[in-house]
């Protein structure tokens, strides 16, 4: 279901041919990197947070962690991830397949500067057996990102 939503969204944007459906699980950065044969940093990890009651998504390079101080400076709130069991209800995709494609209406998407280390990145495509191969410019365009942020540890 989630893969179908992401596919439909990517098809409308002209990127359906960038979707890679995998035999192996891509539920974690490590598994996705192995399944795709790329370094873990190239996996565009999509993290879901709540600011008050509003969900947001931040895509980061696969191996980095959120810097709580930078996050608070950027969003004027403490970094509070959406609880695992609530992610699908808020975002429209279950953990392991969360991506900025085919999500619920009105969820702001941000791209972290850490992604710019790579020419090509691989976010999920709605489920835990998929990815989308995108250049940074393509990701910026197709994700509908509000803006670039710097919220990860060096």
Residue-range domain boundaries for the chain? 2-149
C-alpha 20/C-alpha 83 separation (Å) is 28
Q: How confident is the model at residue 154, as a pLDDT?
A: 83
CATH code linked to domain 2-149: 3.90.960.10
C-alpha 20/C-alpha 88 separation (Å) is 22
Return the C-alpha torsion angle 71, 101, 132, 28, nearest 10: 50
Tens of pLDDT, residue by residue over 74-92, are 999 999 999 999 999 999 9
Tens of pLDDT, residue by residue over 2-45, are 899 999 999 999 999 999 999 999 999 999 999 999 999 999 99
C-alpha 39/C-alpha 52 separation (Å) is 35
Residue 81's CB is within 10 A of a number of other CB atoms, namely 12
Measured in degrees and rounded to the nearest 5, phi and psi for residue 86 equal -105, -10
Tens of pLDDT, residue by residue over 54-76, are 999 999 999 999 999 999 999 99
Could you give the angle at the alpha carbon of 139 between the alpha carbons of 12 and 55, nearest 5°? 85
């Amino acid at each position: 279901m989630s893969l179908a939503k992401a596919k439909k969204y990517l098809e409308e944007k002209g990127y359906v041919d960038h979707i890679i459906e995998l035999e192996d699980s891509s539920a974690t950065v490590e598994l996705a990197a192995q399944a795709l044969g790329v370094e873990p940093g190239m996996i565009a990890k999509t993290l879901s947070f709540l600011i008050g009651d509003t969900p947001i998504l931040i895509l980061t390079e696969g191996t980095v962690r959120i810097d709580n101080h930078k996050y608070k400076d950027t969003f004027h709130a403490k970094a509070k991830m959406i609880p695992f069991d609530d992610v699908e209800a808020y975002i429209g995709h279950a953990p392991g397949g969360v991506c900025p494609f085919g999500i619920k209406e009105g969820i702001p998407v941000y791209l972290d500067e850490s992604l710019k280390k790579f020419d090509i990145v691989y976010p999920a495509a709605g489920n835990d057996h998929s990815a989308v191969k995108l250049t940074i410019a393509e990701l910026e365009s197709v994700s509908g990102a509000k803006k670039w942020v710097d919220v990860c540890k060096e």
